[in-house]
Amino acid sequence: MPLVGTKMVNSRQPSPDDMIRGLKVARDLFNDIPINLGCARPRGKHYLDVEKFAVDYDIDGIAFPEDETFEYARNKRKVFLSHACCGNVILDLMEVINS
């Protein structure tokens, strides 16, 4: 992700397909470990498919999902909200997963 103030600032932004492949690999390799789609990611209409894939492929959390994704998730599975930073939400996720 080309974040200002980092060495990645001039890197190519990942495509939605790149992100979906990355989420799939992460979930397939680390099935017992919580995985989040964090806040430092590209946004826009063409990235809605990434968020919906995350819901459908049992990714454990999505930081600041689009309204459309939130409603999509509510119709698919139980949704929990957290006020924690996406980098620190692991304790909330572990509580939900273990309940």
How far is CA 27 from each of CA 4, 46, 56, 67, 71, rounded to the nearest angstrom?
28, 22, 12, 24, 22
E strands, the chain, in order: 36-37, 61-62
Phi, psi of 36, deg, nearest 5: -115, 150
* Token representation of residue 66: 């689009």
Contact 54, 37 (CB under 8 A): yes
pLDDT of residue 9: 85
Q: What is the pLDDT of residues 4-59, one digit of tens each?
A: 888 888 888 899 999 999 999 999 999 988 899 998 899 988 899 999 999 999 99
How far is CA 15 from each of CA 46, 87, 90, 93, rounded to the nearest angstrom?
9, 22, 26, 27
DSSP bridge partners of 61: 36
